Amino acid sequence: MPKYGYARVSTVGQSKHGNSLEHQVNLLLSEGVAQLYIFVDSFTGSKMDRPQFSKLFQVLKAGDTLIVTKLDRFARSTMEGEKIVKSLIERGVRIHILNMGVLDNTPTSILIRTIFFAFAEFERNMIIERTAEGKAIAKQKTGFREGRPPKFTPRQLDNAISMLQNHTMNDVVAITTISESTIKRELKKRRLQNGQV
């Protein structure tokens, strides 16, 4: 019976803690899972839509082995994780979590995985809470602007716009590496601020 593997990251930061897709895939390969049988989901946010896991869930049948590097790669909540694991075990799928061992439906295994899922959910909720607190504190600071920081400083934009007096748009773009659309957007913004249309 084939071995299947599942790898998932949901944030960029996870790659720093031994959870990168590359690291997970390498561990799965070292466990004898063929590249063809490794399913990978990669996204950000907390949405539960995992297209590759959904495909894998449909493919798995009695006698197959599913290998995952860590239990929290399955799910973000205790209820969801327990539901998935229980369903797979009842279908006759062997589940091997590399940092825990093989899961089954014995009371001890159910207790252990429920605790692990609960800790993963708790950790996720703490990260969300700390992030929200950090944003709230940052918003109180003067000059705070939520979102991505500007790519170019006001001085760089001033320079590019002043260069337009003596150079073509293409020349300014080539010299400053500021895109034409960014320069035009800045020109439009300044015209509106000065009451020009």
Residues with catalytic annotation? 10
- How many other β-carbons are positioned within 10 Å of the β-carbon of residue 75? 21
Closest CA to 33 of 25, 45, 22, 23: 25
Closest CA to 63 of 20, 95, 29: 95
DSSP-assigned letter for residue 85? H
CA distance 97 to 149: 40
For residue 120, which amino acid is it?
Answer: A
Instruction: Please name the helix (run of DSSP H) or strand (run of DSSP E) that holds residue 65, with its range, or none.
Output: strand 65-68
What residues does 68 pair with on adjacent strands? 6, 97
CA distance 102 to 66: 10
DSSP-assigned letter for residue 23? H
Strand order in the sheet with 65-68: 38-42, 3-9, 65-68, 94-97, 101-103
